[in-house]
Amino acid sequence: MRIGVPKEIKVHEYRVGLLPASVREAVAHGHEVLVEMGAAERQGFLDEDFKKAGGRIVESAEEVFEQADLIVKVKEPQPAEIDMLRQGQVLFTYLHLAPDRAQTEGLLNSGATAIAYETVTDGRGRLPLLSPMSEVAGRMSVQVGAHCLEMEQGGQGMLLGGVAGVPPAKVVVLGGGIAGSSAVRTAVGLEANVTCIDVRIERLYELDQMFGAALDTVYATRHAVEEYVTGADLVIGAALQPGASAPRIISRDLVRKMKRGSVIVDISIDQGGISETSRPTTHAQPTYVEEGVVHYCVTNMPGAVARTSTQALNNATLPFVLALADLGVVPALRADPHLRDGLNIYEGTVTCRAVAEALKMPWHDAATAIGA
């Protein structure tokens, strides 16, 4: 199979679908890999590195999309990329379609097959291709949140871990999954006062066992959310509903009750965000102030640490890329129900129930659509 790796064009996105080590594996399996010139240059991986791995460098994204059967990316396709997709071509990347009708309609009209990293599952119901970036975003959320608390960023001028004689900041993490627990780990390490709120008792028990007295765990009720959010200096939104829009946990009225100069870091923004006041931002302009609260809502947070993020992502995605290329797309989807969970768009239909429900579009069962 001919695999294509274009350079990402989203603002300040420096990750890449396949690194040289992954290209080498694909070539060893008998596949041809086309890589757009300069695709990973900002990470320190040069075109020569891809050539040594057996890849072929092409000058433009147009060449990649025109020649490749399988397109491997990181972020959702931008409008110019959607225009280059064609009938029968396969796109394997993060999509986050639930809050994005325009992208969904563009993919449906393209005739391409779109498989989303974020809805691929494993035998335990986990999201193995989302987890690496959730871990990165969770750890980053505390770093950027601490920065946003500084006066020059619009924050209240608080040091996250405090100092002798001065108490630390209060950090509230909404959601205890991979992103949330990673945020907790970093915040605890910086000696903040940390609380994690989740609706799953069993998960709160696990977190309690992991962090002990360094973490307060709270069962999620409206009362608890209001009490802890209004008292927080830094709120991290890490709630997830696989494939669907993120739950709106924080209302505008609740934001108004928060401390002036406090901070919301909304990791869930790529699925619509957990706050009514959240709206997507970029690394070029990552923050804004609304209702007196600093909001950080960058939709591709891990792109800021592209080298770490790409390596972690490739570790998770490579086996699926090889399966798609080795077996062929439809046979691979038929053979692996967990990969099939990633199928969001097929032959002009929505095959992910959560996306269809979020956008009020017709849904077609993925297994039926591919004849599994």
Residues annotated as catalytic are 96, 270
CA distance 70 to 92: 7
End-to-end distance of the chain based on CA atoms, in angstroms? 22
Q: Is 26 buried (19+), middle (13-18) or exposed (0-12) by CB count in 10 A?
A: buried
Where helices occur in the chain by DSSP H, the ranges are: 20-28, 47-52, 61-67, 79-82, 101-110, 131-148, 178-189, 201-211, 222-230, 252-256, 306-327, 329-335, 337-340, 353-359, 366-370
Cα Rg of the chain, angstroms: 21
Token duo for residue 353: 């129930």
Q: Residues 91, 112: contact at Cβ < 8 Å? A: yes
54-62, Cβ contacts within 8 angstroms, sequence gap of 24 or more: 54/23, 54/24, 54/27, 54/28, 55/5, 55/20, 55/23, 55/27, 56/32, 58/34, 60/36, 61/6, 61/7, 61/9, 61/36
CA distance 331 to 239: 34
Q: Is 38 buried (19+), middle (13-18) or exposed (0-12) by CB count in 10 A?
A: middle
Which position has the token pair 């001065």? Answer: 166
Query: Which residues make beta-bridge pairs with 81?
Result: none
- Mapped onto helix, strand or coil, the DSSP state of residue 163 is strand
